[in-house]
Amino acid sequence: MVLMNIKTISLVAFALFISLALITAFSIAIPAALASDSGGAVPLVPIKTGNAKLDKDINKFYSCIKKTGHTGGNNPEPSRDEVNNCYLKVFTGSSGSSSTITTSIGRKGT
């Protein structure tokens, strides 16, 4: 009987310890997550691929994406078509419609 009570007390103590640990962890993590300033622009690291033309083209691609106007507000991300059009313009020299680009899963770009 005494052994049963010791097991019960040990189990209750362990449950209380785990509960306090979880409460402490969440009380630290949740305010830190809420305090973070998300949604802002992410600074780009310098591009150094070893290929000067590619470095220049990547920067042109980023500039094209930025010119779409989707760097914040209600629509913070460019559409797939806008990204595809920038890719075509910078890397292929074409400014045609992106509807001819096929994604990696076989669907046409939208």
Residue with tokens 């992106």: 98
Every domain of the chain and the residues it spans: 1-36, 52-100
Nearest to 91 by CA among 53, 57, 67: 57
Name 96's Cβ contacts closer than 8 Å, sequence gap at least 6.
88
What's residue 87's pLDDT?
93
In degrees, rounded to 5, the angle at the alpha carbon of residue 87 between the alpha carbons of residues 82 and 91 is 160
pLDDT tens sequence across 83-106: 899 999 999 987 655 445 555 555
Give me the residues paired with residue 108 across strands.
Answer: 102
This prediction's pTM: 0.48
Name 50's Cβ contacts closer than 8 Å, sequence gap at least 6.
none
What's residue 28's pLDDT?
67
